[in-house]
Structure 1
Amino acid sequence: MPLVSERDSARILELDETGASREVGVVGGVTPRGEGGLLGLAVHEDFLYAYLTAGGENRIDRFPLEGGPGALALGEAETVLGGIPAAGNHNGGRIAFGPDGMLYATTGDAGQASSAQDTGDLAGKILRLTPEGGVPQDNPFEGSPVYSYGHRNPQGIAWDAAGTLYASEFGQNTWDELNVIEPGANYGWPEVEGIAGQEGFVDPVQQWAPAEASPSGIAVSGDALYVANLRGEVLREVPVDALGESAEHWAGEHGRLRDVAVAPDGSLWVLTNNTDGRGAPGPEDDRILRLEPGS
């Protein structure tokens, strides 16, 4: 069953086939402040994984999932990884399991830009862990969960059918980014922002002005990558065989779009985020919208 997190209330909701929701549980220890709180979710085998802000840190906890669809409940929390720097903004927070069975997590620079270039710091990174929180032996930095670095505030991660990893990223004032992620690669922040053509840094495959984008969650369906945008209030479709191109859906129609996911029936579910303190919520916000790919 689909699960949705609420940042400030720390509730996890279960949706049924009609779109109705029920509370599965409330995650303890969450400290909502600014962009922090209960953030990304991922399900692996019989566990729910959650990325959350707790006091002065971000961490990843996992919970046994008990019961069946329509009656799910959370078991006792176990911390998978703690000590991720936290702040009022730039917390990252997306988690997902890759095709290799490993857990990937995006972390922001927590307002300390120089941390993104320090491979000994967990801030401003994409991390790769075993499901139990260990460091995979084939990670690019020995003994470290760091998979890539030089990120300001990466927000979405997804893989295509060939196993290529993509990440969306909030820029500062100049460029937001779509990146192809390679192990051990440096994506430049804070030394460069956007396409710089500078040796030692990997350029994004596409960039947008922040006022037109703020790319958040992403998902791959068929031969296209879909990017939910907050300030830009648009769902972008990027062909995986032409990563410099894009088409727009719903431009300005539904306000801020936080996340996009592929539903069990193959459609796309898109989450609005107009009640986050930066949007202009309507009477039905926030909502999950449905789009047929290719329509």
Structure 2
Amino acid sequence: MAHVTRTGLLAGVAAASLLLAIPASFAQETPVEIERGQNDLFSSRVLTTALSNPWAMRWGPDGQIWLTERTSGEVTKVDPETGAQQVILTLDDVYTGPQHEGLLGMALHPEIGQGTGNDFVYIGYTINIGTETEPDASAQIVRYTYDEATGQLGSPEILIEGLPGGNDHNAGRVVIGPDMKLYYSIGEQGANFGRNFRLPNLAQALPTAEEVAAEDWHTYAGKILRLELDGSIPEDNPEIDGVKSHIFSYGHRNPQGLSFGSNGILYEAEHGPSSDDELNIIQPGGNYGWPLVAGYIDDMGYSYINWSEAPEGVERATTPPPEGVPVTQESEFEGEMIDPLATYFTVASDFPFDQQCGFICNPTVAPSSVLYYGGDAIPEWQNSILLPTLKHGVLYVQPLSEDGTEADGLPVAWLGTQNRYRDVLISEDGKTVYLATDAFGSVSQLYGTDLTTSVLHNPGAILKFTYGGEEGSSLAVAGEGNEAQAGGTSESAGGPAEWENPANQGATPGTDAPAATEAPAASDAPAADTPVSEAPAAAGGEADLATLVAAGQPKFVASCSGCHGVNGQGGAGAVLANNPNLADASHVASTIIHGLGYMPPVGADMSDEEVAEIGTYIRNSWGNDYGVLTVEEAAAER
């Protein structure tokens, strides 16, 4: 297998063209030199906008793009030429949290629309089995029937329920294999780090026969499942540790990419902690190492710190870990582990994690999906894996060996924009590439020198790139209203202006972390321990309001704007602009520290001074005028 890592840092990369340039921030701490594709081979345009965090795209039987919208709970059809939208299903029981909960993966039966009666669509999503104030997410796979006459999905049938569904790393990809089995990926729910650092990581845990008989699926976290199309356990599933279950492979972190190639191989891509994103071939019964191993067993850049077994009194993840917190080196892994085809990227243990611009500058790319390209319409991509990335806003094209079982060198970066690419779809003729973008989050900065930004140029959109096309390039901020979502403005030929973000040198940690509440994902050095701003902290009730607001603004942008919007306009989180609830200082402090409703607690990752600064900023911005939130008021809510 190719170990795709090299020493030496990437030298500065100049942006090429305005719209199809690799971001200038691509010169971050990427530990290998990445070739850029010849983007002028493609024409480009915005196909459609105003999508609510699209997650999965599929070709429908009507030649339309069918996609899931995570936060609105809608399945939407999009015309691949005009961009016209039509909602064909709205879920009334979907639970949507800040970043990974909601309507996720979707697979269409291969015979849909062919008159065989198999007009089925398989959807994975999270529901709330708790209360509004104390939500408890759970995942399920539901089969819907497509009514060609009405163009709608209906007649839901739950195939399996009670699957793990947390506030982080749900993955949720759904595919149907050439064996006519259903494959479903589940992340390890972000256990053992950030706000979940006390939760045990179950990626290596396997169910007992008694648990399987009782339909207790709690150990399915960090796994890829293989199911019959009715949700039952296939007879030929692997028997792991003497037990047969839905589990097809295990030891996964956040496997957001899952796709079969025309060669019959099941490819998977998953997020690493702060290094070692992985591209894998999934084998029956295979162990892929997490959380004991990230990438290869090489003791480089990662060790397993088991915070779930930390002594009482250890309140948060710190580096180095206090005495008594179990630490395991990768070389201590016992048993057989399947190596990845490639990692993005493996670095030495002394790598300066989080020290340049937070998680964006760590040596991961955040692969959000995976797709095999076996055609020849784009000769440069023939026999390769396509990896949309969230952090870099590029489509990585990873060449493969002739038989598709090894990575052939390093990937090439194509089609760069200042966006978070969530999924990729290829037209039937292989010439047109569709990329779906997140509606919010942090990403490499295309313009300016601050490296990371929360300004997305095409939030909640589908971008269309045609090889050898003649439509030209038109990827400015698209659609009325998108400017407000992005926090930027449109400027004639200059394209979207970069919003002056004072917090671009600090970012919410976690490779897939658009949310205000995402927790540290660094393997050895949580980014929350690195100060975002050097502005003066709140000194107490008499602190100067202007000083507190100035100190709170960059912290809010870095840690909260992903959900609440850079202008407090809301999104996955509550609208803060002109919000009378902010008049109550204790309510603001309590909500930040302890959470409320769908907002999880973040107080463990913030000092009282930081809570006071952020609280004061939001209480005196966007039409709010409620005065100082003091350090003493914040401390009183602990």
Identify whether the pair has TM-score above 0.5, normalized to the shorter chain. yes
Q: 1:175-234 CA distances to partner (integer Å, 9 max, x unpaired)?
A: 211111101000000001011155521121111145541001111121111000001211
**Correspondences of 1:34-183 after superposition (within 5 Å):** 34=98, 35-44=100-109, 45=112, 46-55=119-128, 56-68=137-149, 71-112=150-191, 114-120=201-207, 121-141=219-239, 142-183=243-284
Task: Find the counterpart in structure 1 of residue 427 from structure 2.
Answer: 263
SS at match of 1:76: strand
Q: 1:13-32 CA distances to partner (integer Å, 9 max, x unpaired)?
A: 11124221111120121010
Amino acid at match of 2:343: Q
Say if 2:343 is the partner of 1:207: yes
Amino acid at match of 2:160: L
Amino acid at match of 1:167: E
Deviation at 1:67, TM superposition (A): 2.1
Deviation at 1:134, TM superposition (A): 1.2
Task: Find the counterpart in structure 2 of residue 218 from structure 1.
Answer: 370
Q: Is the 8 A contact 2:68 2:104 kept in 1?
A: yes
Query: TM-score, normalization: structure 2?
Result: 0.44
Q: Is the 8 A contact 2:74 2:91 kept in 1?
A: yes
SS at match of 1:132: coil
Aligned residues: 290
Q: How has the CA–CA distance of structure 1 residues 181 and 100 changed in structure 2, closer, same or farther, with 3 Å as cutoff?
A: same
Amino acid at match of 2:342: Q
CA distance in 2, matches of 1:185, 1:257: 29
Deviation at 1:48, TM superposition (A): 1.3
Amino acid at match of 1:10: G
CA distance in 1, matches of 2:263, 2:441: 38
Q: Is the 8 A contact 1:220 1:262 kept in 2?
A: no
Amino acid at match of 2:425: A
Unaligned runs of 5+ in 1: none
Say if 2:96 is the partner of 1:32: yes
Q: Which residue of 168, 181, 195 maps to 2:296? A: 195
Q: How has the CA–CA distance of structure 1 residues 2 and 192 changed in structure 2, closer, same or farther, with 3 Å as cutoff?
A: same
Q: 1:82-117 CA distances to partner (integer Å, 9 max, x unpaired)?
A: 111111111011111111111111101113353100
Deviation at 1:166, TM superposition (A): 0.7
SS at match of 2:435: strand
SS at match of 2:202: helix
CA distance in 2, matches of 1:248, 1:204: 20
Q: Which residue of 452, 461, 464 maps to 1:290? A: 464
SS at match of 2:206: coil
Q: Is the 8 A contact 2:204 2:251 kept in 1?
A: yes
CA distance in 2, matches of 1:293, 1:109: 38
Question: How high is the sequence identity, in percent, across the aligned residues?
Answer: 34
Instruction: Select between 146-155 and 109-118 the one with higher mean Cα deviation.
Output: 109-118
Unaligned runs of 5+ in 2: 1-63, 113-118, 129-136, 193-200, 208-218, 299-330, 346-361, 375-382, 443-453, 470-638
Amino acid at match of 2:338: V
Task: Find the counterpart in structure 2 of residue 22 from structure 1.
Answer: 86
Task: Find the counterpart in structure 1 of residue 415 from structure 2.
Answer: 250
More strand, by proportion: 1
Deviation at 1:292, TM superposition (A): 4.7
Task: Find the counterpart in structure 2 of residue 280 from structure 1.
Answer: 455
Deviation at 1:168, TM superposition (A): 0.4
Task: Find the counterpart in structure 1 of residue 387 from structure 2.
Answer: 227
Q: 1:29-84 CA distances to partner (integer Å, 9 max, x unpaired)?
A: 1010121101111111311111101012011111111125xx52111211111111
CA distance in 2, matches of 1:85, 1:9: 21
CA distance in 2, matches of 1:161, 1:145: 24
Query: TM-score, normalization: structure 1?
Result: 0.92
Q: Is the 8 A contact 1:239 1:245 kept in 2?
A: yes
CA distance in 2, matches of 1:221, 1:63: 29
Q: Is the 8 A contact 1:212 1:232 kept in 2?
A: no
Q: Is the 8 A contact 2:276 2:364 kept in 1?
A: no
CA distance in 1, matches of 2:169, 2:175: 18
SS at match of 1:9: coil
SS at match of 2:287: coil
Amino acid at match of 1:30: V
CA distance in 1, matches of 2:465, 2:287: 35
SS at match of 2:238: coil
Q: Which residue of 52, 70, 76 maps to 1:13? A: 76
Q: Is the 8 A contact 1:218 1:261 kept in 2?
A: no
Q: Is the 8 A contact 2:275 2:363 kept in 1?
A: no
CA distance in 2, matches of 1:166, 1:151: 13
Q: Is the 8 A contact 1:86 1:110 kept in 2?
A: yes
Q: How has the CA–CA distance of structure 1 residues 240 and 63 changed in structure 2, closer, same or farther, with 3 Å as cutoff?
A: same
Q: How has the CA–CA distance of structure 1 residues 231 and 118 changed in structure 2, closer, same or farther, with 3 Å as cutoff?
A: same
Q: Is the 8 A contact 2:419 2:459 kept in 1?
A: no
Amino acid at match of 2:224: I
Task: Find the counterpart in structure 1 of residue 67 from structure 2.
Answer: 4
CA distance in 1, matches of 2:107, 2:468: 26
More helix, by proportion: 2
